[in-house]
Structure 1
Amino acid sequence: MNVLILSAAAKVLLVQAFQAAARPLGGQVIAADIARDNAALFAADQALILPRSDDPGFAGALADACARHGVGLIVPTRDGELAVLAAARERLHAQGVTVLVPSQDALALCRDKRRFAQVCHGLGLATPRTFAPGEAPDRYPVFVRPVDGAGGRGARRVDGPADLPAGEDHLVQAFDDGPEFTIDVLMSLDGAPLQALARRRLLVHGGEATKSRTEDIPALADQALKLCAALGLVGHNVVQAFHDAAGTRFIEVNPRFGGASNLSIQAGLASPERILQMARGRTAEAARPRPIAYGLTMLRYAQDRIVTDAELAAL
């Protein structure tokens, strides 16, 4: 079974993790992007240039690429491509391709921050205090985010009413400066909760953790599994939350691998290996909990990949 990783960009570690899982099965990892000058394309077994996901020809080009290269599993990595893939999921499934994307309804719940908060409250899970549209916060600072969006775009701290945006297209919540965690959550391909691992975000740049540590917090992992099951998610997901002695406050869920998910993969969650097992029908084997190494700290650093004009042209 060959694996296609979309929007591969600089996600070399994710490519390598899937290579380690696919090669013992005789499979290869194909990395795709819209431009040749992306490091992950040179780390993969094969590289593809595909249209942008908002191009009308994207779905057809993707289906053709899967047929041409024997792809059995598609791994999206960018929020902007998820809805297009959800719409094309049945078409791809008909040609034997598994797409790691939930239903369009599940994606809509993840994108709409107000509906997401309502789901949390319906499950008895807490979020930072959320103000109703038009409700004046009784104290500052508050935290403001677009209601519809992903990846932290447009999120910011607001220190007074003069800077508070008008209208209902922003979610206003109490500012929370508690310890922030990402929980990597593995679900089955039909939405059953399997295993989760919490990692504390020690240092964050550009919305991604550059220092992170795995921690043994069963209650946090269990709540994240419950939330992802209620949302109808599949495969690997990243849940953002604050957690301290006062409890857990959920922020959002991204239904895809995260930028620092390599830490949880290496700590024992082994999502690529288990996802390939499920895609091959070995769900019972994939569902068995894996031993987790707690107290591992990830220290991220940059590495250069130097390529020639000929190598770029060869893609």
Structure 2
Amino acid sequence: MIRRADILVTSAGRRVGLLQAFRRAGHELGAHTTVHACDMDPALSAGCSAADYAFAVPRCDHPDYIDALLDYCRAKGISLLVPTIDTELAPLARSVDRFAAIGCRVHVGPPELIDIVRDKGRTCALLAEHGVPVPRTYTPEEARRLSDPAHWPLFSKPSAGSASRGLCRVDRPEDIPATYDEPTILQEYLQGPEFTVNVFVDRTGDLRCAIPHLRIQTRAGEVEKGRTVRDPRFTRIARDLVAALPGPRGVMCFQLIDDERRGLRVFEINARFGGGFPLADHAGATFARWLVAEVLDMDSRASDNWRDGIEMIRYDAAFFRSSGAVAE
């Protein structure tokens, strides 16, 4: 009997590499795999163009978003739903049981985990309590009271920001704005090479793989040129980080800087597939295949046997079709 896995990638955007990884996963596992995708405007999404089927959904903060996904998953027999952007994680985390009732696993952590990682201040506080190295972090009010020049400059960022949005260097207390448009933190200004560590936690909660890559060059917060790096320091930090979080499962990534004075400092966690996942996948950390294997109740064979020194250099490609054509 041939196993079947229908996979839905939400907010597909430009995530063509991720969809291709799931399609390969089914082939390698000997399963019949259909890849679905959705976005607000699937006709203008490269990810939707790469899918077998695509459909339109409201914004992920719209009250009808979850119901639209549920209706589609029920109608198409979706067995695995994979979100790709931070803002959809919370509503999906709070709806896991509704999807499970129709036989669909949502690749998302529990609500308490998502609430932590979506708040950079809470993230750093929790990690510091568990011995994970993080940058010194302040509220704007605390930062205004830092009179010692040794504390400056600082780096301000929205507490729930992503894709490098709203980042700003602040050189003096008087440069801190009187108000911010959204909750904001300030952190010590770190200087040094930046890394992403992609991790896979199996369904029993065991960390099976931690694969770091150097972020050689980025675009809009996403790695454009990178290189895998095997270093035991990253593995130790990954184990402590996973142990500190409540109920992590599946794929996550975290970012850190190897500061020239303070060493490695973790400053952000993304509880989802990161944009640089294609590099990890090519190096042997085949997270998509391991997830599909779990859904099919197969041994994922997840391991830390990935290849060091693999480089990725991205470029833009294109889909061509008649105007107005949509995958479904």
TM range (shorter): over 0.9
- Deviation of 1:124 after TM superposition, in Å, equals 0.8
Aligned match of 1:10: 14
- Find out whether 1:204 has 2:212 as its counterpart: no
Aligned match of 1:62: 69
- Find out whether 1:134 has 2:133 as its counterpart: no
- Deviation of 1:289 after TM superposition, in Å, equals 1.2
Aligned match of 2:24: 20
Matches of residues 67-106 of structure 1 in structure 2 within 5 Å? Answer: 67-106=74-113
- Find out whether 1:109 has 2:109 as its counterpart: no
Q: How many residues align?
A: 312
1:154-186 C-alpha deviation (Å, 9 max, x unpaired): 222112223213469321111001111000011
Structure 1 CA distance for aligned equivalents of residues 110 and 15 of structure 2: 25
Aligned match of 2:273: 257
CA gap 1:288/1:34 in 2 versus in 1, 3 angstroms: closer
- Deviation of 1:104 after TM superposition, in Å, equals 1.1
CA gap 1:156/1:310 in 2 versus in 1, 3 angstroms: closer
- Find out whether 1:156 has 2:173 as its counterpart: no
- Deviation of 1:237 after TM superposition, in Å, equals 0.9
Aligned match of 2:39: 33
Report the TM-score when normalising by structure 1. 0.93
Structure 2 CA distance for aligned equivalents of residues 279 and 225 of structure 1: 24
What root-mean-square deviation, in Å, do the aligned CA atoms of Structure 1 and Structure 2 show? 1.9
The residue matched to 2:115 in structure 1 has which SS? helix
1:14-42 C-alpha deviation (Å, 9 max, x unpaired): 11011000233111111111112111112
1:167-209 C-alpha deviation (Å, 9 max, x unpaired): 6932111100111100001112353312110000011121111
The residue matched to 1:27 in structure 2 has which SS? strand
Report the TM-score when normalising by structure 2. 0.89
> Is the 1:196–1:222 contact (alpha carbons within 8 Å) kept by the matching residues of 2?
no
% same residue: 33
Report which structure shows greater RCO (CA 8 Å, sep ≥6): 2
Aligned match of 2:315: 301
Structure 2 CA distance for aligned equivalents of residues 212 and 60 of structure 1: 38
Structure 2 CA distance for aligned equivalents of residues 61 and 95 of structure 1: 14
The residue matched to 1:204 in structure 2 has which SS? strand
1:125-158 C-alpha deviation (Å, 9 max, x unpaired): 1111223542433332211112344443222211
- Find out whether 1:269 has 2:285 as its counterpart: yes
- Find out whether 1:237 has 2:252 as its counterpart: yes
Q: Structure 1: which 5+ residue stretches go unaligned?
A: none
Q: Structure 2: which 5+ residue stretches go unaligned?
A: none
The residue matched to 2:157 in structure 1 has which SS? strand
Structure 2 CA distance for aligned equivalents of residues 73 and 50 of structure 1: 17
- Deviation of 1:278 after TM superposition, in Å, equals 1.4
- Deviation of 1:309 after TM superposition, in Å, equals 1.8
Structure 2 CA distance for aligned equivalents of residues 4 and 93 of structure 1: 14
- Deviation of 1:310 after TM superposition, in Å, equals 5.0
